[in-house]
Amino acid sequence: MGMKPVKVSQLNSYIKRILQTDPLLGNISVTGEISNLKFHGSGHVYFSLKDEKSKINCFLSAGNLASLECQLAEGNGVIAEGYIYLYERGGSYSLNVKNMENAGQGDLAATFERLKKKLESEGLFDKSKKKTIPVFPKKIAVVTSATGAAVRDIVKIIKGKNDCVDIVIYPVLVQGPAAAEEISSAIDDININYPDVDIIIAGRGGGSMEELWAFNEEIVARSIYASDIPVISAVGHETDFTIADFVADMRAETPTAAADKAVPDTYALRDYIASIGREMKRSLKMTTDNKSKQLQLLNPRNFGRDIQSRIALEQLNLDNIMSDIENYTKTMIAGLKHRADLAKETMNSADPKSILKKGYSVVTDADGNVITDVGSLRKDQVVNIEAAKGKAQARVITSQNTETQQ
226-236 pLDDT, tens digit each: 999 999 999 98
pLDDT at 405 over 60: no
Instruction: Reply yes or no on whether the pLDDT at 1 is more than 70.
Output: no
With a cut of 60, say whether residue 310 has pLDDT above it.
yes
Quick check: 300 pLDDT over 80? no
Q: What average pLDDT does this structure show over 163-191?
A: 95
Contacts of 243 (CB under 8 A, 6+ apart): 112, 115, 116, 119, 215, 216, 217, 218, 220, 221
Q: For the domain made up of 8-105, give the CATH fold.
A: OB fold (Dihydrolipoamide Acetyltransferase, E2P) (2.40.50)
Q: Which among 261, 229, 225 is positioned nearest to 129, based on CA atoms?
A: 225
CA angle 300, 302, 306 (to 5 degrees): 110
The answer to whether 261 and 232 are in contact (CB under 8 A) is yes
> Domain 111-125+137-264 belongs to what architecture?
3-Layer(aba) Sandwich (3.40)
Work out the percent of the chain whose per-residue pLDDT is above 90.
Answer: 45
How much is the pLDDT for 401? 59
Q: What is the mean pLDDT of the chain?
A: 87
Span 15-31, mean pLDDT?
A: 86
Instruction: Give pLDDT, residue 218.
Output: 95
Q: Over range 32-50, report the average pLDDT.
A: 91
pLDDT at 106 over 70: no
What predicted TM-score, i.e. pTM, was given to this entire model?
0.54
Task: Give the tens place of pLDDT for each residue, 118-174.
Answer: 999 999 999 999 999 999 999 999 999 999 899 999 999 999 999 999 999 999 999
Confidence band for 2, pLDDT divided at 50, 70 and 90:
low
Give residue 406's pLDDT band: very low, low, confident or very high (50, 70, 90). very low
Q: pLDDT (tens digit, 9 = 90+) per residue, 196-221?
A: 999 999 999 988 888 899 999 999 99
